[in-house]
Structure 1
Amino acid sequence: MTNLLETERLIIRTWIPERDAEQAFVIYSDPEVTHFLGKASLVTSVESQRQRLIGNIERSHQRNNRTEFWAIVEKETTTGEWGVRGDGGDEGAGGAGEE
């Protein structure tokens, strides 16, 4: 696991599919979250979320990490996601799932 940033309360780190799939499913099965991300973001089970995380990580490595998404963790509770696109834009600033 790679922590990219850590504060007193939060950690931004790489996703760990085996560990994070359940909480990611809670986030990405919420219609208020997927409303802003589009229907392609909708997941129907913890296993489909795990597979999506694995696929996202694999695609990121194939693109030489030009696009990466990281978990935002409240010292052991995944609270959202933040990412950077290869074209310099950022995705999810503030974190999906964060109020």
Structure 2
Amino acid sequence: MTDDAETDAEMLKWTRAIARKNGWILNPDEDHLNIVIRGLVRNKKRFGRPYCPCRLRSGDEERDRAIECPCIYHKDEIAKDGHCHCLLYYKKP
């Protein structure tokens, strides 16, 4: 297993724990789920934090904390739309 695969697996485990803690599920579409997981891993490696890959960073670390996964918008989005903007976290069916 490569370092990237291990990191992807760790990020998947971390996001699953967040979903479980909040009574959600992760995106059942494995292809999309893997894209988001890889984006989180890439951002963590590049910027030191797992910023949501579907949101633009400002470059201001303090402002960008709002888009660190799970971002400040996710609970409202899940309540309103049934999923977060990144399509990572979903309400249970």
Regarding TM over 0.5, the answer is: no
State the TM-score, normalized to the length of structure 1.
Answer: 0.30
State the TM-score, normalized to the length of structure 2.
Answer: 0.31
Higher strand share: 1
Higher helix share: 2
